[in-house]
Structure 1
Amino acid sequence: MLTSLSIRDVVLIEALDLDFGEGLGVLTGETGAGKSILLDALGLALGARGESGLVRQGANQAVVSASFDTPHGDGPIASLLDQNGLDVEPGEPLIIRRIVKSDGGSRAFVNDQPASAGLLRELAVHLVEIHGQHDDRGMLNARGHRALLDAFGRIDTGPAARAHRAWRDAEDALAVARAELDTVARDQEWLEHAVGELSTFGPEPGEEEILATRRAGMQRGEKIAGDLQAIADLLEGSEGGLARLRQAARSLERVAEDHEALGEALEAIDRALVEGGLAQEKVDAAAEALAFDPAQLEADETRLFELRALARKHRVQPDDLAALATDLAGKLERIESGGAGIAALERAVADTARRYEAEADAITAARTEAAGRLDSAVKGELAPLKLDAARFRTMIAPLGNDLWSTSGKDRVEFEISTNPGAPFGALAKIASGGELSRFILALKVALAEQGSAATMIFDEIDRGVGGAVASAIGERLARLAANTQLLVVTHSPQVAARGAHHLLIAKSHDGLVTRTGVVQLHDGARREEIARMLSGATITDEARAQAERLLEAA
């Protein structure tokens, strides 16, 4: 909902701050007072083209700020803000500010964060809906008519959307399978050779590291085998150190009692024999671990070289050869059994297409029924709005197969005929300005606000009508405003009397500068303005009395 509008230096407006409330707000004033300037200023905040002609003469720039109290914690507004990297806390007002310089340059901000005019236009779709003879959005945009009819008829397109996605997924899978089959079929001979070669070799994940580690160990063992044998001979041989120590120990045993030092010497030799034996065990263990079989070393080297050569040939890492073998074998299998796989995918496409068409046909039937109810509802609104000669219909036409979508296979457009015997046509092309606004009002009432933005604005919807028709317009506007914020620029006293809020737009001139201002009217002042609308420049007592009756009736 639009809560406030601040305008600085826009055309004839020097400084203006307006607050808006819920329900129906009316804007009145004499012709030329500047009502269009207010809409132009709001349009700037909603992303309209920023032209230098909007800047008040003598000012450097025009600034417009519009504040909206809107539940943007989730939904399309939150999505737009998030996609554009704008941080607005849930519960905070959404403040849009637009600056247009006198040289034509412009800047835009959302809650003081820089934004593009394009983003403002996207946000405007969800914030404000403006209806006037030059408006090309909202009800006049046929692209939104299908969604409006679906909302009116409470039509659930979810099953059709799911069926459509399943159908397209099946078609994509078939296309991929056919393309893959065509590609691999051209390489069948190479595939057969590659699969045979890889199958015969039988590569395994991690095999390269195992072979390289084992080969390196055997190579080290080969290199130091002689040294290990020499060490073993020095320790354990008949002339080795341990044998000589044992001989010395036996000799000392015979004389150890003759002197204390000899006994200590024997103990030292015994300890040396223990440590020497441990050293011998370690040398033997190392020799066993590093032992190599020349035939095994040659076999491992051959396998490693062939593994790496095969990897280079297929342009993969050695560890990926096993996966490659599986993948190539699968492709070859699909070639050999490709016909059956393609046939199964073709059946899946046909089945999902039938399911989608069934769901889409059900939606078409529901739309046809809803269109009949909508046409009757709109017809009931036309006569009171002085459109009794006009006809309205909801046109439902089939789309081409290539345009079928998750929303079904129908094109929906609202059409009118303004005179008996005249052909039906699009709203924007057939109706005049005043008729168009009243048609939109009739549609809005019939649709019970389906698809409306939080704020709706009608610009001179009552143009060219009065009396009972104006009263009917006012009654319907008030009815719409019960559930949404609605602002109306009006020349009709019957419409003005229905407003919950009344703003008077007027020009003033101090002899040098002409300015446009806006005043909030209450009670007596409001009655005077409605009396002026009834009688013109000279306000009579009868006009005041009639204004009082209109206000009381509202």
Structure 2
Amino acid sequence: MLRSLDIRDMLLIDRLELTFGPGLNVLTGETGAGKSILLDCLGFVLGWRGRADLVRQGAQQGEVTAVFDLPAAHPARAVLADAGIELDDDDLILRRVNGGDGRKTGYVNDRRVSGEVLRQLSETLVELHGQHDDRGLLNPRGHRALLDAFGAIDLGPLRAAWSARRTARRDLDEAEARLAAARAEEDFLRHAVAELDQLSPEAGEEAVLDTRRRAMQGAIRIREDVARALKMLGGDGAEGAMLDATRWLEGAADRAEGRLDEPLAALSRAMVELGEAHRGVEDALSALDVDPSRLEATEERLFALRALARKHNVLADDLAGLADDLRARLGRIDAGEAQIAALRKQVEASEAAYDAAAAAVTAARTNAAAALDRAVTAELAPLKMERAVFQTLVTPGEPGPDGRDDVAFTVATNPGTPSGALDKIASGGELSRFLLALKVCLARGNDALVLIFDEIDRGVGGATADAVGRRLKRLSEDAQVLVVTHSPQVAALGANHFRVAKSVQDDMTTSTVTALDPGQRVDEIARMLSGDRITEAATGAARALLGG
């Protein structure tokens, strides 16, 4: 509920504080008094796009504050949560300042917000209806949602079916794309797998081969020196020379009087050591005996591993894992057709489920449309439009989460004439009554929105105006209603009555709004009945209207 509206230095308003009540709130006043200014100011604080020159002449800035009571389950709380705003109580305070330079600044409970946040909040707080309303009932884009709300149509199963259908189609598309990409490289995969399988690399094999190769290359390089050393230690080398020396010394020992005994003993020991050295070098030479073909085979495999690793841009130790991965990709190609066949069945099943859910919703909408047509027709008769034909068209549309129906409210003002969109067929007064009848049928039980009707009773009077007023009062039983009206019959039904007046003082024009007490209401309605000169008859008629 809109509890209060505070306006400062906006258009013709100097300072204005209004307190609204539940039920039907009516605003009356002479033409040009400034009733539309209130709506301009309310639209400004709600972030609506409107006229730019809002600041009162001579003022540095204008400001509007609106206070709403916000119940715990009100949809505006979701908008506030998305904006990171928490309410400590049920008071929602919207404030917006318009600087003299045209710059606009908005606040929600003293926290600065963008105009977009204000507009999102306004969609959950206020609904404006009038002859030029393109935000509500005249907007065909919203007709389907309005019909669904009227018929209490549960879209949950349909939306779940749409989601499942979309997921199944996405999975199929992705699987087909993967299979197409895999097939594009199938020849490469099969060649690569065959090449890897032929080589059959093992993890850690490169290091083993490299160590073995280095050892064999080292053996080849030192074997010649070891062989030369062995030769020098043999009979043609040190061993032979030592044997010759021993024989010579032994032949001279008898005549040397013992002087050669010790040298001969040392030579004997040396011969023993030389023999051990000779055997050790022989063993070493035998161990260094490298088969060239073995070295060649080792090098060929090592180079093959490294070349294949470079080809696939991986480490040699990763070749075994690469082979497994490529074989898996080939396996997916081989299994791809079976997977895609299964996914196609899922798509078919999900489409059938969606079609069934959409058909059920279409049937429900068709029934709801017929019920809405009957309800609107019943409302049109008291509004002196009993010959008009209202029809809700449910036609095939593009499939989506809310079904595959387009919904449009159409009207023919007279039987036999072609029907069309409300704002294209009906005249101003007719349109107002159509909108009211439609809103009465659609708004039952909806107390989330403040409903504003801007001169929706224009062009009607007498019993028709009384019928308009009674329907507005009926609406106000479920939601707060604000009505700008020139009709005394409508004004008399209001629970709260405000009079808008314009005055000129010191060459400055200002508009004021006054909450009327019972006596003042009699005078205002009498003025609306008779004009500036209020007669006794008009006063009596005003009392009669107020008496109901």
Task: Quote the Cα distance in structure 2 between the aligned partners of 1:116 and 1:487.
Answer: 26
Provide the residue aligned with 1:364 in structure 2.
Answer: 362
Instruction: Name whichever of 322-331 and 389-398 sits farther off.
Output: 322-331
Provide the residue aligned with 2:383 in structure 1.
Answer: 385
How far 1:510 moved relative to its partner? 2.1
Conservation of the 8 A alpha-carbon contact between 2:446 and 2:478:
no
Task: Quote the Cα distance in structure 2 between the aligned partners of 1:193 and 1:135.
Answer: 70
Q: 1:192 to 1:16 in 2, by over 3 A?
A: same
Provide the residue aligned with 1:457 in structure 2.
Answer: 452
Instruction: Name whichever of 465-474 and 191-200 sits farther off.
Output: 191-200
Q: Which whole-Å deviations, capped at 9, do the CAs of 1:23-65 have from their partners, x for residues lacking one? A: 1100011111100111111111122236442211111222111
Q: 1:75 to 1:345 in 2, by over 3 A?
A: farther
Pick aligned residue for 1:122 from 90, 106, 120: 120
Q: 1:321 to 1:123 in 2, by over 3 A?
A: farther
Provide the residue aligned with 1:70 in structure 2.
Answer: 70
Question: After the TM superposition, which residues 335-484 of structure 1 pair with which residues of structure 2 at under 5 Å, given as runs?
Answer: 335-399=333-397, 403-449=398-444, 453-484=448-479
How far 1:68 moved relative to its partner? 1.6
Q: 1:200 to 1:149 in 2, by over 3 A?
A: farther
Conservation of the 8 A alpha-carbon contact between 1:434 and 1:460:
no
Q: 1:318 to 1:101 in 2, by over 3 A?
A: farther
Indicate whether 1:487 and 2:485 are aligned: no
TM-score normalized with structure 1 length = 0.77
Pick aligned residue for 1:103 from 101, 104, 118: 101
Q: 1:172 to 1:510 in 2, by over 3 A?
A: same
Task: Quote the Cα distance in structure 2 between the aligned partners of 1:316 and 1:70.
Answer: 64
Report the number of matched residues: 467
Q: Which whole-Å deviations, capped at 9, do the CAs of 1:419-448 have from their partners, x for residues lacking one? A: 333211112222233322211110122224
How far 1:523 moved relative to its partner? 1.3
Task: Quote the Cα distance in structure 2 between the aligned partners of 1:22 and 1:484.
Answer: 8
How far 1:309 moved relative to its partner? 7.8
Q: 1:173 to 1:528 in 2, by over 3 A?
A: same
Task: Quote the Cα distance in structure 2 between the aligned partners of 1:58 and 1:78.
Answer: 38
Provide the residue aligned with 2:259 in structure 1.
Answer: none
Indicate whether 1:547 and 2:542 are aligned: yes
Conservation of the 8 A alpha-carbon contact between 1:474 and 1:495:
yes
How far 1:322 moved relative to its partner? 7.2
How far 1:319 moved relative to its partner? 9.0
Task: Quote the Cα distance in structure 2 between the aligned partners of 1:133 and 1:172.
Answer: 46
Task: Kindly report the root-mean-square deviation, in angstroms, between the aligned alpha carbons of the 2 structures.
Answer: 3.3
SS at match of 1:166: helix
SS at match of 2:79: helix
Structure 2 gaps of 5+ residues are 216-298
Task: Quote the Cα distance in structure 2 between the aligned partners of 1:353 and 1:321.
Answer: 45
Provide the residue aligned with 1:137 in structure 2.
Answer: 135
SS at match of 1:502: strand
Structure 2 counterpart of 1:27, one-letter code? L
Conservation of the 8 A alpha-carbon contact between 2:2 and 2:69:
yes
Structure 2 counterpart of 1:186, one-letter code? A
Provide the residue aligned with 1:112 in structure 2.
Answer: 110
Provide the residue aligned with 1:531 in structure 2.
Answer: 526
Q: Which whole-Å deviations, capped at 9, do the CAs of 1:61-120 have from their partners, x for residues lacking one? A: 22111122223x66753333343x442325342222222223322222222222222222
How far 1:356 moved relative to its partner? 1.0
How far 1:312 moved relative to its partner? 6.1
Indicate whether 1:28 and 2:28 are aligned: yes
TM-score normalized with structure 2 length = 0.77
Structure 1 counterpart of 2:122, one-letter code? A
Instruction: Name whichever of 486-495 and 151-160 sits farther off.
Output: 151-160
Task: Quote the Cα distance in structure 2 between the aligned partners of 1:131 and 1:143.
Answer: 16
Task: Quote the Cα distance in structure 1 between the aligned partners of 2:536 and 2:324.
Answer: 99
Indicate whether 1:81 and 2:80 are aligned: yes
Question: After the TM superposition, which residues 259-338 of structure 1 pair with which residues of structure 2 at under 5 Å, given as runs?
Answer: 314-315=312-313, 325-338=323-336
Percent of pairs with identical residues = 55
